[in-house]
Chain A
Amino acid sequence: MRLRAFFMKLQVSSSPHIRDNVTTFALMRDVVIALIPAVIASGIIFGLRAVLVILVSVFSCLVFEYISRRIMKRNNTLSDLTAVVTGILLSFNLPPTIPYYMVVVGAFFAIVVVKQMFGGLGNNFVNPALTARIILAIAFPNAMTSWTAAEGPFNFLRSLQGADLVSSATPLAILKMQGSAGALELPSYLSLFLGNISGCIGEVSTLALAIGVIYLVSRKVITLWIPLSYIGTVMLITLLGGKDPFYQLLAGGLFLGAFFMATDYVTSPVTRNGRIIFGICCGLITGVIRLFGNMSEGVSFSILLMNILTPHLDRFTMPKPFGEVKKHEKA
């Protein structure tokens, strides 16, 4: 076949001319897959209602993203799956009995205010799901703090029969109660690990989340600098504070927050050292709030505060170019 140069349409572009296989879509798809065990666990532990909350959240996020992009005359980005991830993570931070309309309000804040109004994917300066959760906690404090007792797989069957769920206190709240009258018994490590406790939809089952983490790490979606430095710092502070570090690890939203929320690409540092400092500072804030604060939970606030510092961390921890010597050193 003779090359007729004159008629050929050749692509001309800057080097490099090849690309790795990884795409934004593939990364988000892996995150969704990693969250599926926790979705299933929430259904087993809290019943159908929890799964419906997740679905309402994801659906609302998708709808809000589509509408806001249309109104702003921007391209349709539903196919990158980021709205789905935000939807799942938002619902994971809500109690199972939260009224559906509040879920929709949360989705609105997450997608339209935090994400799209700042320019869409890559431009938000704080974690959308987490910020929405905090807004809901402030706007609807009662609904956001009514917890349901987990009665194992029976909850699923009970909810199908239309029975109401029994309310109970979260493990961290129970911890704060200790020593006062009417304090409940601390749940066992096994209950904490499996998720046979009350709490937010996605935070209770450490086992389900851990399966997701193993998947994410094996697919090279997240690095472990942030989660390990975050959790390590919390455990260290708890130890110094005379409390049980393993209880802290398994209770509350620390496991979910450290592995799935703090590692959000857009709002966490790009450098290794930046990530370590980010994790340690998150750990410090969470630890201090949990030990000394009024609230039993501190994860959302610590991640939010550190999100804001991320650009500064990036600049501060910028690596030295290869071969650069300090001015007082000899070349």
Chain B
Amino acid sequence: MFSGGVHPKGNKNTHDFPSVRLDDFPSVEVLLQQHVGPPCVCVVKEGDHVNVGQLIGRADHPMSVPVHASVSGEVTGVSYVISATGAPVEAVAILSDGKFTIDPSCVQPTISSREDFLEMVRSAGLVGLGGASFPVHIKLNPPKGKEPDVLLVNAAECEPYITSDYRQICEHPDEIIDGILAVLKWISIPRAIIGVENNKPLGAETLIHEIEKRARESKKDVPVKVRSLKTIYPQGAEKMLIYSLTGRKIPPGMLPHDVKTLVMNVSTLRVIGKYMKNGIPLVRKRLTLDGSALNSPGNVNVPLGARIPDVIKAAGGTVEEPSKIIMGGAMMGFSLDRIECGIIKANNAILVFGSKEALIPPESPCIHCGRCVTACPMNLMPTGIDQATRRQDPEDLEFYHVMDCIECGCCTYSCPAKRYLTQSIRNGKTLVRAERTRVLEEKKLREAESSGLAGKEAHAK
């Protein structure tokens, strides 16, 4: 069990509500970059008719992941829009004909090798659905010598409000287990452990039941275990999850495969299981809609690219003027400025806060109480980093290991002075990156000058 962490109020209000499929969207805006890596190349133009599952963004770069149409209808435009994080991204706007015709190219895939499996995962448009958007086909293909000996399935769902993964488990446990077994088989991993927080006992039971069913049917041992995890934020953070389930610690700057571990979100695995059955790529997302300004919180299944105001309206609308709309969870989500943007693959929740929920008291001076130090799961000193950032001191920031911060928000949550610590730490990281670049450039310049000088001397002799 890692040290630190906080216990925000769970607010899992939508825990028991079955997911509702929503299709009433006049138009969608599908981003051509929903992964970590270079954007996809648009292969449709204005006026084209598209079907559900049809390729609209081609992944030319090895790291890119293709993007598909989530509704059937006419492409009304391809242009740059501002994403939730404030960056400009190319997007395809599609006017829905309401029919949701599936493209004929969507057929059940045939896999006969590991390469086939990786290609299939990529064609499914799959990125890590826990929020990181890392291309799954890259993650499943670690460098030589770093092959994982265990697959960890992240079903922790430690953020307050969000219950979409839990509903996924309750509603499609079969496809989840299918996905897990496929990864174990094709990537040659001997076993899997599913980590579920202990505030979701029914989720754990459902998965165990499904695993036992498979064991009975195949009359073989199924190498998938379910482990109950202590309910604490950020239990679902990669480094914390690996430590809690296996005791392995990832050194700073390294990745799970460096400790022979592969971590995947439970919903990502379900998409694999589903795709292997029907060949329809990732075009819909299950989201938790919650917040006091909403009329009826719940879990909804919407097409990718559905605009947020349309999603909120289709889900029952609002009861008061929203004060803050968050794409993501209450601890790590992005508060939106432009709410017209469309749902992306990494989205798990839309939180619509009323004025009381959105209220954050003003900052007051740091009283050096140490709550942030106790709360930090990475054993850092947020108050030290905050002071160093305000002093604009990159050397001190390096001393405080600022780059190891996972930006979970535990420090800011626990601060009695209501200081914006996470924000300050992000600024600190920017400062350190700039300083490192500056030092590198200076070094290159000095090397160039000295070699230039040596060249001149040699010439003169």
| A contact set with B: CB distance below 8 Å | 1-3, 5, 8-20, 22-24, 26-27, 80, 120-123, 223, 265-271, 314-315, 318-325, 331
Contact = CB atoms under 8 A, between A and B. Distances in A.
Contacts of A269: 370
A26 B361 CA distance: 13
Contacts of A80: 364
B369 interface: yes
B414 A20 contact: yes
A15 B8 contact: no
17 contacts: A2-B317, A3-B317, A10-B324, A10-B337, A10-B339, A14-B423, A15-B328, A15-B422, A17-B324, A20-B413, A20-B414, A121-B365, A322-B243, A323-B251, A324-B251, A324-B404, A331-B259
Interface stretch (B29-37, B191-199, B374-382): B374-382
Nearest to B414: A20
A14 B317 contact: no
B379 A320 contact: yes
A121 B379 contact: no
A331 B252 CA distance: 10
A42 B335 CA distance: 53
Contacts of B422: 14-16
B333 A15 contact: yes
Contact of B400 (A11, A22, A23, A318): A318
Contact of A12 (B2, B336, B383, B399): B336
Contacts of B321: 8
Please name the 9 residue pairs, one residue from A and one from B, whose CB atoms are nearest each other, closest first: A16-B409, A14-B423, A122-B365, A270-B370, A323-B249, A319-B379, A16-B331, A265-B369, A3-B309
Given A14-B335, A319-B380, 12 more contacts: A2-B313, A3-B312, A10-B324, A11-B324, A13-B423, A15-B331, A15-B333, A17-B353, A18-B413, A20-B413, A322-B249, A322-B378
Contacts of B258: 331
B367 A22 contact: no
Contacts of B418: 19, 23
A322 B339 contact: no
A20 B360 contact: no
A62 B339 CA distance: 47
Contact of B373 (A8, A17, A23, A271): A271
Contacts of B420: 13-14
A324 B332 contact: no
Q: Which of B8, B366, B377, B404 gathers the greatest number of chain A CB atoms within 10 Å?
A: B366
B313 A3 contact: yes
A313 B217 CA distance: 62
B384 interface: yes
A321 B360 CA distance: 29
B323 interface: yes
Contact of B404 (A16, A24, A121, A321): A321
Contacts of A267: 368
A16 B369 contact: no
A22 B384 contact: no
Nearest to A221: B369
Nearest to B358: A11
Nearest to A27: B416
B325 interface: yes
A20 B309 CA distance: 29
Contact of A324 (B252, B318, B413): B252
A12 B337 contact: yes
A321 B404 CA distance: 7
B336 A271 contact: no
Contact of A318 (B367, B381, B415): B381
B381 A331 contact: no
Q: Which of B2, B251, B414, B420 gathers the greatest number of chain A CB atoms within 10 Å?
A: B251
A123 to B, nearest CB: 7
A120 B365 CA distance: 9
A80 B369 CA distance: 15
B331 A22 contact: no
A319 B420 CA distance: 22
A27 B358 CA distance: 23
A11 B333 CA distance: 13
B160 interface: yes
Given A22-B416, A320-B379, A325 B309 contact: no
B393 interface: no
Contact of A13 (B335, B371, B383): B335
Contacts of B367: 24, 27, 121-122, 265-266
Given A10-B325, A322-B239, A331 B254 contact: yes
A10 B322 contact: yes
A268 B369 CA distance: 9
B380 to A, nearest CB: 6
B417 interface: yes
A312 B423 CA distance: 26
Interface string B402-437: 001001010011111110101100100000000000
Contacts of A26: 416
A5 B369 CA distance: 41
Contacts of A9: 323
A1 B414 contact: no
Contacts of B243: 322
A77 to B, nearest CB: 8
Contacts of A20: 6, 8, 413-416
A1 B320 CA distance: 8
Interface in B294-335: 309, 312-313, 317-326, 328, 330-335
Given A8-B322, A265-B370, A321-B252, A23 B361 contact: yes
